[in-house]
Structure 1
Amino acid sequence: MLMPKEQIRKRAKRVTKKLDEHPDETQQPQEPIETAPEWIVNTQQTSTPFGILNPDLKSYLRDMDKRLTNASQDDSEEYSMMIEATLSEMSSHELALSTDPECALMVEHMLKRVGDFEKRVFADALMGQINAVISNSFGSHVIETLLETSKGTIMRESNGDIAQPPNQDPESVGQLRTFTTLLNDLVEEILPFVGDLILNQNATYPIRYLLHLLSGDTSENVLKRSKKSKSWLNRNDNFDAVNEQQYEDEEYRPPKHFKELFNRLRKALFDSFSSPAEIRAFGVSDHGAPVLQLLLQYERNNGENDKTDSFLDSWLDGLIAQLQSSEETKQSGHITTTLLDTTASHTTETAIECASSSVFEEIWKLYFTAKGGTRCMKHPVGNFVYAKALARLGTDENLNEEFVNAQLNETISLIRESGSKLIKTGRSGPLLAISDVVVARNVFKDEVLSMIMHCFGLSTTSTAQAKHIIPCILEMKRWKSYRRFHKETFENDEADEESSGDERKTNKKKKKDSGDDDIYTVPGAQLIQSIYQYGSPLNDKIIESVINLDTDKLLEICGSSSASRIIDGLIESDNIAFKYKHKLRLKLVGNYHLMADMRVGSRVAEKIYETSDGYFREKIANSLIEHEDYLAGSPYGKYLSRKVDLSLFRRRYDDWKEKTAQEIKNAGLNKINNIKKAPRVFNGKLANEMLSINQSEDKRGSKSSKKRKNASNEDTTSAETEDKADTRTRQEKREEKRQRKYEK
């Protein structure tokens, strides 16, 4: 028992002088029993509310847990015997084991190992004390693991497959409740106290998991343990995932009556709050915000996001009620504050996603236009909420088209005015969001591209900035800041052009060895990939800037984990013409071995090889064959060497061609890179349909081949006759010949 220092040192009362004068020899002196104040809590009772376990039992169970973790399931008989022995020792101690600091983790391991019947036995032993277990710091994790491992059990029971006692006659034992029935009883037990439990720092996680289980939303992104729990498991848990029972690949589908249980639990939560103000305070707390977000999503999925007596209306401070009563809507100080709050902003994001289209239009007008929108997009937290709301303008098909166009036009002006501040402070969310919206809506692409260039202080018509557009955007710096940051590059630009290739490689190696951090950013790469989707001719300048980069700069981008994505996007995008992809591949010829020597560059080189046709694959192989020893000694280069199969290419060229042709055929890459989104000309006529495998583009139209200088007049006449009969172009003939070569 923990007691204050003064209580521990306090002694018995002193005997007064009056009593000393008349001592009673027959009476023995007794010290009064001191009781601790009521506010002092026994920590031993708090950590072990169901008593202390026998140390020998704890030692035995820990030893069995280690043996089961290290044991192999190949010897199923021995493994089953150890499981059975452990379960027999755990019997009648389930409550104490679940709340014991040393044994709770072992119980979680056992729940992942045992079958459906054993889980039902364990859950049945906890019934009646669920509120105490779920409020315990260790017991809450046990309940969470029990619910996590019960998805397969619930689905099997709903299909009529109820587990029976192993190695026993079902008639000789009492009737055991199914797990579905136990879950129903669990809800009944926590229902009167759910308002208090949801605010408990330990109980909130199992209840949140229970809500997800009842609603059917059991995706990995919502069923994550807290950071504190993960950190503790990483330090103390060495449980091998191989020993864990494998769950079914079938998607989890809860029984129909679970919806009724969820609604009862949701109604009990709603009734536990005395006013909408308490709901808003609940959504601001660390423990309450995730639960409220789940309830908001459930209301949207069930079409209840237009009701006045809902969690959404309470969070929006009565906005839905104002719209339905035709009252004039006003800004709420609560929403204005939560837009900029670290925790509550997540709940507001969810509310914006879950609101109906009419309610969202009103939210946008009240909080994301004019000064409100400018303040929100500049804020370190609010810019995420602004980007989320802006993204809905492109995804919600129920929004009024006139409303969307008007708001996009205004938003472009707002971002253009505040763009320089957004780039300086790294608030790239609004830029990325509006770029994706105009692609989805297919409007204002030209205006947004001009706005993006203005925000960076760039111009697509400037020749001085042409080769710096891509690095500037990747680094998310304005042009002036970019020039200051790379001052030496601009001063020594002419000297770099006159230096030899060996000097450039030496400088690059020094820079690599110096351990400089990656200066390229993920938002910059995402923005360039979004511009790729604008289509020709809007994205031509950006693509040409990528291709016209210096080889050293291009290799540096290929070796960056973030910037290399713009190379992947250029190769894979259907909105980019084949000629640009071909130019990029050609520019890197002779440098693929350098790319393969990089951790990220090797992946980019493999991507280029996989998306190339047979002709260019052979070109890559020829450029790598002289660097075969270099690739063999590289920790990453060997992977590209295996992908290309250089040993087969060097020893048996014909077999390599046959293998490559089969790979191309299986991947469906035959002439696929020649398909473009831009208008095409085939044999002098505009082709509206996609080109077939045996067709190719020719903007010049049909034209007879050039006459040979030394040919006779008769040969010339016959050649012209053949050309008139065969209307194929030169490029088409070359492509057909190339295909026949690799398809033999």
Structure 2
Amino acid sequence: MPWNQLSATADSRPDAPVDPDALPEPDPDTKAYFREIAEKIQELEGLGQGRGSYTKLREDGEEEEQEEDDRPLLLRSALESLGGHEIPLAGDGETSVILERLLYAMDDFARRVLADRFIGNYEKLVKHRSASHVLQTLFTLAGETIDRETRGIVASPPVSSAEGATELPTMTSLVLSALTELLPHLPTLLYDPFGSHTLRILLLLFAGTAPTAEGQSGAERSKRSLNFRKGQGKMKSFLLDDDHSAKGKEKEVVTKRNVPPEFNDALTSMWQSLNSVDDGGPLGEGIRRAAMDDVAGPAVRVMIEMEAVAPGGWMKGGWADRVLCGLVEEVKNPDSKTEERSELREEYLAGLLRHPASSPTFETLLTRSSKPIFSAIWEAFFVSKLHRLAGNSVANFVVAVGISRLDAGELEQTIEEIGKIATERRGEWIDNSRTGVFRSLLEQAAKLSVCEKEISEIIVDTFGLGAPENLKLVAPCVLSLNRLDYWKKLPSHVTAQPSTQGSILLQSWLKLHAPHQQVVLDSINSLGYDGILPLTRDATSSRVLDSLLSSPTTPPREIRRFLLSLIGHYHTLANDRIGSRVVERCWATADVYLKDKIAASLVDQGNFLQSSQFGHFFARKVELPLFMRRREEWKAKMARQMAEQKGLRMPGAPGTQATAPIEEKKRRERPADEVDEIFGGKSRPSKKGRTEDAAETVQSKVKKVEGLDDVYAALKASAA
């Protein structure tokens, strides 16, 4: 066919239908400008500052170099260019991220302006792939603004834009207006892959619950969204320096915000709108279907958690009650139990427990339920079923969460049930790296001081290490998750790699009270230096040594035994990135007597440590020069440091008016004279004053000597 006929045929094709929900494309020039803004922000963040310099003429006619921060000017320019382009920029995949970053730098008034520009378009924005994330960020930050508005702090417009802007609604009014637009569509947003995230943020916003930092929670962002956000870098205000950000981390985390009374009515309206997912079928069927859905499940969990913190907790007919097929009602009124509901519950929750998308909902039910409801759930779905659930690839995580809420009687019953399971079947859990149940049992046993011996014996038996001659292999076998049969089959030239699950299991084991963790301690000490050295070189296995040293249940004699076993090797351990951290932990744990032993073993290794890339940090803590010159003063200083770390005050230790530390005194010791007093900022006292000062000096010296005697007595007692 000739090309002109082809062209005519193509032109005669009907145009593609226009999507009524599509957002307008941003202007190319505007998009290019905001790209430049993003590059400038990235450049300033890379430099760690945003300051430029300019020359200013002083009053005396001399020029003076002044610093000017370019970042507020950059933000002001971006906001001026944003006017009228908010919706196209929010709908573009590239500029929407830039708009989110600008939101973190905006003040309350600028955020109100943006929320006002979106009025009338929230329904389109909330279902858009890119714009929905802009709304997430806007509503997340709006909670801070609303909290301030409820306390009477309402942002004023800039002076340059005060004219015509005084009628701008508050953020409280703007959010309520947005909800009015979205309220009829909430049941649809529950299943929308983009709108569901915004729905969760709105629920948290109206409930006054502060989202986690940057939405780093499965209830606020999906895993895919979190991974995308990580690629965009950390979202924060580029107006703040790194030191301000660090200070912000030290502030108390706010989990509950002030909300106006109107928000309670708005939350009730959202509840009623979402309840319509149950229309057209048996009570609870729509909500149970939503709990099993990948998209709607997280929103269902938010609703269940909000019900749990409401006055009265879970109630009859609530979302939790409908997901549990009426179990909440039955616990409060046993006469309401029916065979039909019991069969439905058994079938539905058995699937909820094993489904990857819905198992987090079951975990929420276990963690947020009251004790009577939890006990009913545990009795109905876990007791006598652990032999199947603990080895399931999904259900074992739910079982671990449930174990963390067991009381002493329930824990004894659970451990007894686990012990009756065949060793080979329990061993399959280890082979498949499903150790969550054992870890949770260890932690709960240590917490309640119940059945610690029994759970230790069960784990030893599971790994096939019951014979006394095999107990020394507990640490390496558990760390690498190799049962004894597989451990013996490893070739001599193959080193078993430590696993994260094995490391966590050993750390939990070491939290048991004495003597129930003794089998692990004996196994670690039996490794000797050659066996411990590889542990200190690995980030995963080194955490086991940290737990040994820091666990409050580790007997002091075992800590001393471990530290003494490394005497002569501390310099070698410190010459490594991870080993140096382990050595510093050893040093922090050691008492003065052990510190003296360690320092004495390092006297000939001073040059080696100083030249080591990692060891010189440890050498600085040990202070070998002071140790070699004045050993007694070094001991007194170490004792004083340990007392300060524990919040104590050693007898004779300097108080708040203490003089400079001993190591900082470069001048020779001699009695202070009048010249010292003059240059020390003191006026020359009278003769009578000098006599009184001399008497006080003699008394202070006597007290100082008495104080040192107390220090030496304390040191001798610790050494003994």
Pair in the same fold by TM > 0.5: yes
C-alpha separation in 1, matches of 2:231 and 2:448: 49
Counterpart contact for 2:449–2:513, Cα < 8 Å: no
Cα gap change, 1:632/1:307 in structure 2, threshold over 3 Å: closer, same or farther?
Answer: same
Deviations 1:258-309 (A, max 9, x none): 3443332233212233242221221222211111111111111125554231
Deviations 1:173-205 (A, max 9, x none): 441111122112112221111111221111111
Q: Please tell me whether residue 336 in structure 1 is matched to residue 312 in structure 2.
A: no
In structure 1, the gaps of 5 or more residues are 1-7, 13-30, 395-400, 490-510, 673-732
Q: Identical aligned pairs, as a percentage?
A: 24
**1:35 alignment partner, one of 4, 11, 14:** 14
C-alpha separation in 1, matches of 2:237 and 2:603: 43
Q: Where do residues 236-275 of structure 1 align in structure 2 (5 Å cutoff)?
A: 242-243=238-239, 249=251, 251=254, 252-257=256-261, 258-274=263-279, 275=281
C-alpha separation in 2, matches of 1:735 and 1:656: 12
Q: 1:658 Cα shift?
A: 4.8
Q: 1:639 Cα shift?
A: 2.2
**Secondary structure, counterpart of 2:159 in structure 1:** coil
Number of paired residues?
616
C-alpha separation in 2, matches of 1:83 and 1:146: 17
**Secondary structure, counterpart of 2:489 in structure 1:** helix
Counterpart of 2:671 in structure 1 is none
Counterpart of 2:446 in structure 1 is 439
C-alpha separation in 1, matches of 2:715 and 2:537: 33
Counterpart contact for 1:367–1:373, Cα < 8 Å: no
Counterpart of 2:590 in structure 1 is 612
Deviations 1:146-192 (A, max 9, x none): 12333332222121111111115857544111112211211222111
Counterpart contact for 1:195–1:269, Cα < 8 Å: yes
Q: Name the aligned partner's letter for residue 549 of structure 1.
A: L
**2:31 alignment partner, one of 40, 46, 58:** 58
Counterpart contact for 1:658–1:742, Cα < 8 Å: no
Q: Please tell me whether residue 156 in structure 1 is matched to residue 160 in structure 2.
A: no
Counterpart of 2:534 in structure 1 is 556
Counterpart contact for 2:102–2:237, Cα < 8 Å: no
C-alpha separation in 1, matches of 2:418 and 2:223: 37
Deviations 1:640-694 (A, max 9, x none): 122223344456656644542332221129899xxxxxxxxxxxxxxxxxxxxxx
Cα gap change, 1:50/1:583 in structure 2, threshold over 3 Å: closer, same or farther?
Answer: closer
In structure 2, the gaps of 5 or more residues are 52-66, 651-708
Counterpart of 2:510 in structure 1 is 532
**2:292 alignment partner, one of 274, 279, 284:** 284
Q: Please tell me whether residue 566 in structure 1 is matched to residue 544 in structure 2.
A: yes
C-alpha separation in 1, matches of 2:422 and 2:309: 33
**1:488 alignment partner, one of 492, 505, 509:** 492
With normalisation by structure 2, the TM-score equals 0.78
Cα gap change, 1:65/1:523 in structure 2, threshold over 3 Å: closer, same or farther?
Answer: closer
Counterpart of 2:417 in structure 1 is 410
With normalisation by structure 1, the TM-score equals 0.75
Counterpart of 1:699 in structure 2 is none
Deviations 1:475-531 (A, max 9, x none): 22211111112x538xxxxxxxxxxxxxxxxxxxxx9xxxx7x71223323333333
Q: Name the aligned partner's letter for residue 26 of structure 2.
A: L
Counterpart of 1:219 in structure 2 is 212
C-alpha separation in 1, matches of 2:23 and 2:287: 34
Counterpart contact for 2:277–2:287, Cα < 8 Å: no
Q: Where do residues 189-204 of structure 1 align in structure 2 (5 Å cutoff)?
A: 189-204=181-196
C-alpha separation in 2, matches of 1:384 and 1:230: 22
Counterpart of 1:729 in structure 2 is none
Q: Where do residues 461-472 of structure 1 align in structure 2 (5 Å cutoff)?
A: 462=468, 464-472=469-477
C-alpha separation in 1, matches of 2:622 and 2:35: 52
Q: 1:354 Cα shift?
A: 2.3
Counterpart of 2:225 in structure 1 is 229
Cα gap change, 1:105/1:524 in structure 2, threshold over 3 Å: closer, same or farther?
Answer: closer
C-alpha separation in 1, matches of 2:433 and 2:326: 35
**1:114 alignment partner, one of 92, 106, 112:** 106
C-alpha separation in 2, matches of 1:64 and 1:530: 50
C-alpha separation in 2, matches of 1:428 and 1:356: 27
Counterpart contact for 1:191–1:268, Cα < 8 Å: yes
Counterpart contact for 1:657–1:742, Cα < 8 Å: no
Q: Where do residues 566-715 of structure 1 align in structure 2 (5 Å cutoff)?
A: 566-650=544-628, 653=631, 656-668=634-646
Counterpart contact for 1:300–1:354, Cα < 8 Å: yes
**1:96 alignment partner, one of 70, 79, 88:** 88
Cα gap change, 1:428/1:234 in structure 2, threshold over 3 Å: closer, same or farther?
Answer: closer
Q: Please tell me whether residue 297 in structure 1 is matched to residue 305 in structure 2.
A: yes
Counterpart contact for 1:304–1:310, Cα < 8 Å: no
Cα gap change, 1:80/1:427 in structure 2, threshold over 3 Å: closer, same or farther?
Answer: closer
**Secondary structure, counterpart of 1:600 in structure 2:** helix
Q: Name the aligned partner's letter for residue 277 of structure 1.
A: E
Q: Name the aligned partner's letter for residue 610 of structure 2.
A: A
Counterpart of 1:508 in structure 2 is none
Counterpart contact for 1:615–1:738, Cα < 8 Å: no
Q: 1:742 Cα shift?
A: 10
Q: 1:130 Cα shift?
A: 0.6
C-alpha separation in 2, matches of 1:638 and 1:77: 39
Counterpart contact for 1:661–1:742, Cα < 8 Å: no
Cα gap change, 1:297/1:231 in structure 2, threshold over 3 Å: closer, same or farther?
Answer: closer
Deviations 1:74-98 (A, max 9, x none): 4657544443333222212222221
Counterpart contact for 2:109–2:156, Cα < 8 Å: yes
**Secondary structure, counterpart of 2:577 in structure 1:** coil
Q: Please tell me whether residue 545 in structure 1 is matched to residue 541 in structure 2.
A: no
Q: 1:238 Cα shift?
A: 9.1
Q: Name the aligned partner's letter for residue 308 of structure 1.
A: K
C-alpha separation in 1, matches of 2:604 and 2:299: 61
Cα gap change, 1:626/1:432 in structure 2, threshold over 3 Å: closer, same or farther?
Answer: same
Counterpart of 2:715 in structure 1 is 739
Cα gap change, 1:413/1:259 in structure 2, threshold over 3 Å: closer, same or farther?
Answer: farther
**Secondary structure, counterpart of 2:554 in structure 1:** coil
Counterpart of 2:675 in structure 1 is none
Q: 1:123 Cα shift?
A: 0.7
Q: 1:466 Cα shift?
A: 3.6
Q: Name the aligned partner's letter for residue 305 of structure 2.
A: Q
Q: Name the aligned partner's letter for residue 545 of structure 1.
A: S
Q: Name the aligned partner's letter for residue 185 of structure 1.
A: S
Counterpart of 1:327 in structure 2 is 338
C-alpha separation in 2, matches of 1:579 and 1:237: 47
Counterpart contact for 1:61–1:86, Cα < 8 Å: yes
Q: Where do residues 308-323 of structure 1 align in structure 2 (5 Å cutoff)?
A: 308-323=316-331
**1:137 alignment partner, one of 115, 129, 140:** 129
Q: Name the aligned partner's letter for residue 406 of structure 2.
A: L
Q: Name the aligned partner's letter for residue 271 of structure 2.
A: R
Counterpart contact for 2:150–2:260, Cα < 8 Å: no
Counterpart contact for 1:339–1:348, Cα < 8 Å: yes
Counterpart contact for 2:25–2:88, Cα < 8 Å: yes
C-alpha separation in 1, matches of 2:135 and 2:369: 33
C-alpha separation in 1, matches of 2:129 and 2:11: 37
Q: 1:608 Cα shift?
A: 0.8
Counterpart of 1:710 in structure 2 is none
C-alpha separation in 2, matches of 1:606 and 1:204: 48
Q: 1:233 Cα shift?
A: 4.5
Counterpart contact for 1:613–1:671, Cα < 8 Å: no
Q: 1:610 Cα shift?
A: 1.0
Q: Please tell me whether residue 380 in structure 1 is matched to residue 384 in structure 2.
A: no
Q: 1:408 Cα shift?
A: 4.2
**1:353 alignment partner, one of 360, 364, 367:** 367
